[in-house]
Structure formats: C-alpha cells, structure tokens
C-alpha cells in the first residue's frame, strides 16, 4: 500500500467512520482537530489528534494552509476530506496534489465541473441524460421573466454554485419572480461568492432518487444501487432509504444506468453520487446534480450491498482496482437511515447544543448507529447539529420501519433535545408506511406534528 498514514480533515461521526475504515486496512490516522474538538471520540480513536486551529471552522476545518502544513508535518501521505467543509473545494484537492498528498476523492477538475450546476447540466446533457426544462445562466431579472414564460410556473430559481439548499427559491407565479430572484441572488453571493442564477422547472410531486457510484483509476465503474432521499426538511435530508420503495424496476435500471454513463463520460474517479428528480405523475426522471464526495447517507447502501464504501474509497485512492464488477453487486433487504440531530423538534427544530448527560444508544441485530457522541460529551455550538445516524436493516421495508420504531423507542438521551420525537411520529404515519412520499411530504408532516403536539399540550 502506498497510503500508510491518512490525515482526516473533518470531525464528528464521519471522522469516526473514516478512522475505523483506516484501522481495518492497517492505515495510521492523524486527525486534524479544532481547539473545540480535542476531547472527542474521533480524537481518542485516531493514532494522533493534531490541533489545526481555533473553534471557528473558517480558522480550522476550512483552513487549507493549516491542514496541508499539518498533514505534511505529520508525514501523512493522504487526506480524507469527509463531507462538508473542504470536501468539494476544488482548490483544496489541487493543493493536496501540488504538495504530493493523495486526495481521497476525485480530482480537482471533477469537483470544479460538478460544483458548477450549469456546467454539470451541460455535461449531463452531452451524454444524453434527461434534464428538466431550464435556462442558461441569468444575470438580470428582466431576462429571467422572459425565460420563465417559456418554462412555465411553478419553477425554481437556483444558484449556479449552489448546494445545501442555499440560493434556491420556489416561484409559483410571475409576480413572485422578482423578489425570489433578488433574494436568491443575494444569498448565493453571500454563500458562494457567485450570484449567478438559473431557472429550472419545479416538479410538484417528486421523489429525490440518487445513485451511489464507485469508479477506480482504471476506468472500472460500478453503481451500488439507488437511494430515496425524498424526506427532506428545508432541502436537508432527514430520512433516507434504500432501495427506493414503489419505483418500477425499469425506472430504477434507467436511472442507475444514467449515473454510470455520466461517471464514465467525465472519467470520474473514486466515490460519487448522482442525484435525480423523479416525476411520479409522468414516470420520468431528470438529472439534478452530482456530489463528488462520500455522502452522509452512504451507510444504507453499505447495509443492503455489504460493501464498505469508505474502504473502497481508500483502496481506489491507493491506486487499486475495484476488484469486483456490476454483476457482483447484490442488493439484499431494505435499509432506512434517520439523522439524529441536536435540535428541539418540539420547539421549531431550534438547535440544542450542550452536554449529553445520558446516552444509551439502541443496539441489536439489524441496528447500526454511526455516531461520535457519548455520555458526558459536550456538543460544541460551532458546528452542525448531527449527533449520529441511526440505520436499520430488515428483510423488507416494513421490517426496517418496525426495527426503526423499536430503535427510536430504545434510544435514551438526556441533557440535550433531539428530533427523535419527530422521527417517531414519521415512522407511525400510514402514508409513510405505504410509501406515499414525495419531496413535499415532510413539510406536511412537520405541520401535522406541531398540531398534534399543541393538542396534547
């Protein structure tokens, strides 16, 4: 193995996940920590925890120079960026290669291409992937009005450099367009330093379906099946499942084949996810974007395929061939993931940092809990609210839901508030159980949840 020591430029549960994958491959780990993260589970598990800066992410987890210096100085030979932070910053990937460090992910060019949603659309279109009706880049609101007439309402105003739900607005009619255009533009400028926008047709009854891809440096590409991520709150995924329920075998095959086609077309390397929107009324699918990193929800795919995606990432980065083909990929059973967040479901999902006074995670056959939390852990207020990912794996969807209900019931946490009450509420909804889900279902559930809670009050 070329890679013998990996520097991990991330924190939280994904840092723990990467360390464990490295340990399984006998690779040493150096974890870059901020001052606020010196006493974390990941810091304890890593062979070395090395402080890269103050608590603020901009000064630590987003500080390219500090991370490169620390990685070189600790004689690491590769960097795993996890997700978020610098994972999709093309300049970081480039800085790694310029300094002789292996970036565990695709190269800077691919991150760049897919990071720009307009360029991604153009590349997808080149290899015949279906796109929703959309526009080229728009700088002026007057231009937007003309194009909007052609696309028709409702539509989405989106940031070209977008991600994480920022710089997106739904526009139902012409009169709303100007305001949406201006706020999305300002938000995109603030978040991505690029105010370029484009328009896209909005599909009312949609499912969000994505495909896990793995590609080695020899041109071998496999997909590990599809995931459904329709259960989103404010464009943030909350519940994910695999394989998607109630989606025809034909459509599933078409979608995963489209993902492989795009991956091959751009000669992509390492793990990636191609996202699609499925119009349930018309039984059509459209390319949305490609994420050039490990996804938060990768464990559900691991559960149903038996592959270790992070381990495959390390092997690919090390120059090894995938070692298996599409025919070797078998899907077995059904998996659901609930993101457990430190946010008060009973108080409008406001963040709830603090000290965990009691922590009894659920256990048992078919239950997996990817987390960095423990009893006595102080959740710092500087980062996101993800406490962990609760994953259940059953023979079918009903079994997975039932197991999730048990697991959520068994889970005990005190000292902080979580979204567990809301997740329990979702799991018992007949519509959810019948797979009557869409990207708008969560919004409805949120309202229903607060109403029920008010009544109980």
Q: How far is the CB of 405 from another protein (least distance, A)?
A: 43
267 token code pair: 């000669």
Q: Tokens representing 312?
A: 């495959």
Nearer of residues 13 and 28 to another protein, judged by Cβ: 28
Residue 202 has phi, psi (to 5 degrees) of -100, 125
Measured on CA atoms in the order 179, 184, 190, 196, is the torsion positive or negative?
Answer: negative
**Nearer Cβ to another protein, position 36 or 342?**
36
Q: How far is 161 from 197, CA to CA, in rounded Å?
A: 8
Nearer to another protein, 75 or 355 (CB): 75
Question: Kind and range of the H or E element at 426?
Answer: helix 420-427
69 vs 326, beta carbon nearer another protein:
69
Per-position b or e across 412-421, b if 16+ CB within 10 A of its CB: ebebbbbbbe
Pull the structure tokens for residue 386.
């993800």
Q: Which is nearer to another protein, 32 or 299 (CB)?
A: 32
Give min distance, CB of 24 to another protein, in A: 17
Query: Distance (Å, rounded) from C-alpha 52 to C-alpha 34?
Result: 6
Cβ proximity to another protein, 90 vs 225, nearer residue: 90
Q: Does residue 291 contact residue 106 with C-beta atoms inside 8 Å?
A: no
Nearest to 237 by CA among 291, 304, 171, 170: 291
Q: Is 202 helix (H, G, I), strand (E, B) or coil?
A: coil
The answer to whether residue 293 is catalytic is yes
Contact in structure between 249 and 257 (CB atoms under 8 Å) = no
3-state secondary structure of 197: strand
Shortest gap between Cβ of 41 and another protein (angstroms)? 16
Q: Which residue, among 324, 290, 327, 295, has the nearest Cα to 307 in the 3D structure? A: 324
Residues 305 and 330: beta-carbon distance below 8 Å: yes
Least distance CB 292 / another protein (angstroms): 24
CA–CA separation, 376 and 344 (whole Å): 19
Name the active-site residue from 227, 293, 307, 315.
Answer: 293
Phi, psi of 178 (to 5 degrees): -60, -45
Beta carbon nearer to another protein, 68 or 300: 68
Question: What is the smallest separation between the CB atom of 21 and another protein, expressed in angstroms?
Answer: 17
Helix H or strand E encompassing 341: strand 334-341
> From the CB of 451, what's the least distance to another protein, in Å?
48
**Closest distance between another protein and the C-beta of residue 59, in Å?**
9
Residue 265 region by backbone torsions, left for phi larger than 0, else alpha for psi between -120 and 50, else beta: alpha
In the complex, the residues that contact another protein under the rule CB under 8 A are 5, 28, 30, 35, 47-54, 60, 65-66, 68-70, 72-75
The first and second tokens of residue 113, run together, are: 């291409």
Q: Which residues contact 288 (CB under 8 A, 6 or more apart)?
A: 208, 275, 276, 277
User: Which residues belong to the active site?
Assistant: 293
């Amino acid at each position: 193995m070329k890679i013998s020591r990996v520097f991990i430029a991330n924190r939280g549960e994904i840092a723990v996940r990467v360390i464990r994958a490295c340990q399984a491959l006998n690779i040493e780990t150096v974890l870059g920590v901020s001052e606020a993260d010196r006493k974390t589970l990941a810091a304890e598990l890593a062979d070395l925890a090395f402080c890269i800066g103050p608590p603020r992410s901009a000064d630590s987890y987003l500080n390219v120079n500090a991370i490169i210096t620390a990685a070189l100085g600790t004689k690491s030979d590769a960097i795993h960026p996890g997700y978020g932070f610098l994972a999709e910053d093309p300049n970081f990937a480039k800085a790694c290669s310029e300094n002789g460090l292996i970036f565990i992910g695709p190269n800077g060019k691919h991150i760049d291409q897919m990071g720009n949603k307009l360029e991604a659309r153009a590349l997808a279109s080149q290899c015949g992937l279906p796109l929703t009706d959309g526009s080229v880049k728009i700088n002026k609101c007057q231009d937007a009005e003309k194009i909007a007439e052609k696309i028709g309402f409702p539509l989405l105003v989106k940031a070209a450099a977008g991600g994480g739900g920022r710089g997106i607005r739904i526009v139902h009619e012409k009169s709303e367009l100007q305001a949406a255009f201006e706020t999305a533009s300002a938000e995109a400028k603030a978040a991505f330093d690029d105010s370029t926008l484009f328009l896209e047709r909005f599909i009312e009854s949609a499912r969000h379906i994505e495909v896990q891809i793995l590609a080695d440096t020899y041109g071998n590409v496999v997909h590990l099946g599809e995931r459904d991520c329709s259960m989103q709150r404010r464009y943030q995924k909350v519940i994910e499942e695999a394989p998607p329920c109630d989606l025809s075998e034909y459509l599933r095959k078409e979608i995963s084949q489209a993902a492989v086609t795009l991956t091959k077309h751009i000669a992509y390397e390492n793990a990636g996810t191609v996202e699609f929107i499925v119009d349930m009324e018309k039984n059509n699918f459209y390319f949305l974007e490609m994420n050039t990193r490990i996804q938060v929800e990768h464990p559900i795919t691991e559960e149903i395929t038996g592959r270790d995606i992070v381990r495959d990432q390390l092997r690919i980065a090390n120059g090894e061939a995938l070692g298996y083909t599409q025919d070797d990929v078998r899907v077995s059973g059904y998996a659901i993931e609930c993101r457990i967040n430190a946010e008060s479901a009973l108080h409008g999902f406001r963040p709830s940092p603090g000290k965990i006074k009691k922590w009894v995670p659920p256990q048992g056959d078919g239950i997996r809990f990817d987390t960095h939390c423990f009893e006595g852990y102080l959740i710092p207020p500087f980062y996101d609210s993800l406490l962990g990912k609760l994953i259940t794996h059953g023979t079918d969807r009903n079994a997975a839901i039932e197991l999730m209900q048990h697991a959520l019931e068994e889970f005990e946490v005190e000292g902080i508030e979580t979204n567990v009450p809301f997740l329990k509420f979702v799991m018992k909804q007949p519509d959810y159980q019948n797979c009557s889900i869409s990207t708008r279902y969560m919004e409805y559930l949120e309202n229903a949840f607060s109403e029920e809670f008010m009544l109980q009050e």
